[in-house]
Structure 1
Amino acid sequence: MSINERAIDWKEIFNLKNILLNLTGVIFITLALKGFMIPNKFLDGGVIGISILVHEITHIPFGVLVLVLNIPFLFIGKKILGNTFALQSLITFLLIAFSMTFVHIEAVTSDRLLIALFGGCLIGIGMGFCIRSGSTADGIEILALLTTRKIGLNVSEVIFGMNSLLFLAAAWYFGIGTALYSIVTYFSAIKSLDYISQGIEQYISLHIISAKSDEIKELIATKFRKGITIIKGERGYLPDNFDEKFDCDIIVTIVTRLELLRIKEEITQLDAHAFMFIQYIKDASGGILRLKKKH
């Protein structure tokens, strides 16, 4: 690791946008935990879920547990993702510990389904804001990243395996009903986290193969104002006519979920036999991704 990678980026730490995102995330997490989950003994996944379980068994303050149990993961995060990430995450852990210790919120409801859905959504939204600020609110994702490099499983598989053990422990201590609702809470949190951290307008790579490729190129570029990339390929090789092949253009463009359906409908009107497939991508930058408003 170079000196630059070890150095802390103080501009990133004190960036107003990141500070506001982090504070917003902590507020949502505190509301979810104090208003829904902890009073009703519901678990989330990861270190927060472990902290809730240990808190109920030992009665050690939750704020202390969530801070202490996350500290070891900071050293892993420091090695993998750098000092800036580790410091931002430490600030997040301290804020959660502070809010859980000193902020009082009455339980919003005792209805199990509402707790599972709204508690999960709120904590997922909170974690999503923390991730967008450049930190994490739960060290289990750092551990999953390290484990992935060692054993070859992807992050989601590692997290799912770790949380399965946690929910089994919840079933033994709280009962099978609460454990099952906790699983619903966890999946609500995951979906909410995805929407916030990746954005509702998640980018999608749309690939089109058509005999009317020139018309489709013009449609995408002029009507939808999207950039396109052309990959030269071959069509044909069908089971009954394997020797027949034709040169073709594979059109690639980056769209959002909100744009995908409309673009596909327009392409189908041009060529009902056009072959299309999509790939979900984590991030995209540069090129022509959005049409800027003209003032």
Structure 2
Amino acid sequence: MKGPQLPSWLVDSIYIIVGILFCGFALKSFLVPNQFFDGGVTGMSLLLHEIYHFNIAWVIVLCNIPFIIMGIFQVNKKFAIKTLAAVVGLGLCLAFIHYPPITSDKLLVSIFGGVFMGIGVGLAMRGGCALDGIEVLALYTGRRVSFTISEIILGINIIIFLIAAIKLGLPTALYSILTYYTASRTISFVIEGLEEYTGVTIVSAESAQIKEQLVMHLGRGITVYKGERGFLKESFEVSQPTDIVFTVVTRLEVRRLRNLVHHIDPNAFIFTSTIKEAAGGVLKRKPRH
């Protein structure tokens, strides 16, 4: 029997508050004391802080406001309100909570500053908001130009790091790129977790046995497509009907699935694809925001 579950709004609030605290820790204890940067709107704010010595708490809030307004039209009003509350909370955290500087070692600052920043931003995203409005801008721009969102974000960050290199020196910009990379990888890990889902497609002459093993042995649901196999260069006219099996597993189970399939049919054709979001069916994990 399941115990009582926390309301979704409370879970979201916990994610956002903890994310704010982590971001504040990354900024005040690592990045700001050492003149390091991140990408996106946070990077713009840090750059303005270093060049013009504006208060970082005010700068982060003010820089995000245009993108929050944009988020009303590009995402929805609820997202914009939650993001505004989170950004204001981050500003208050930076203004009133004292975080002591941890280290001045550039490598440690670039890595762990990025890790803690990534944890904070990732937790806020799990709470249904954004502590950095750069993706809203990329979404807005992407609908008007032929570039992808990732390419737009990359282009904006290149400009930020170029300005940082000119104003504060190339070594600082290079270390900051490492910070941004670390933060982006940590965000992916926080959002996807160890159980990031992978779609697996299997084409085999032994599809009946493979289907049975996937369901009865691995406990996975499957989807079956009717197809044909064959069409080799030396016998293009020859083909056989076959069941194409599709299933979804966690990335920790991919190797086990491959071994099981190859034990049944060493010539089976298997390919995988990363799945960013999965819910329902036999998947028991709670869908994310």
TM bucket, shorter chain = over 0.9
d(CA) in 2 for partners of 1:39, 1:123: 15
Shift of 1:53: 0.7
Which residue of the partner structure matches residue 268 of structure 1? 262
Question: What stretches of structure 2 of length at least 5 have no aligned partner?
Answer: 1-6
SS in 2 for 1:153: coil
2:106 to 109, 112, 124: 112
RMSD: 1.3
Matched, 1:123 2:117: yes
SS in 1 for 2:194: coil
SS in 1 for 2:101: coil
1:161 to 149, 155, 159: 155
Report if aligned partners of 1:204, 1:279 keep a CA contact under 8 Å in 2.
yes
SS in 2 for 1:79: helix
Matched, 1:177 2:171: yes
Matched, 1:195 2:195: no
Write the letter of the residue equivalent to 1:40. N
d(CA) in 1 for partners of 2:91, 2:178: 25
SS in 2 for 1:42: coil
Which residue of the partner structure matches residue 253 of structure 1? 247
Write the letter of the residue equivalent to 1:248. T
Shift of 1:290: 4.0
Question: What stretches of structure 1 of length at least 5 have no aligned partner?
Answer: 1-10
1:163-194 deviations in Å (ceiling 9; x for gaps)? 00000011111111111111111011111101
1:197-238 deviations in Å (ceiling 9; x for gaps)? 222211111000111111110111011110000011111111
How many pairs were matched up?
A: 279
Report if aligned partners of 1:119, 1:185 keep a CA contact under 8 Å in 2.
yes
Which residue of the partner structure matches residue 33 of structure 1? 27
Which residue of the partner structure matches residue 272 of structure 2? 278
Which residue of the partner structure matches residue 216 of structure 2? 222
d(CA) in 1 for partners of 2:52, 2:64: 18
Shift of 1:48: 0.5
Which residue of the partner structure matches residue 54 of structure 1? 48
Shift of 1:90: 0.3
1:38-69 deviations in Å (ceiling 9; x for gaps)? 11111000110111110011111001000001
Which residue of the partner structure matches residue 209 of structure 1? 203
TM-score (norm 1): 0.92
Report if aligned partners of 1:226, 1:290 keep a CA contact under 8 Å in 2.
no
Q: Percent identity?
A: 40
Which residue of the partner structure matches residue 4 of structure 2? none
1:217-271 deviations in Å (ceiling 9; x for gaps)? 0111011110000011111111222111111111000111111111111111111
2:283 to 257, 264, 289: 289
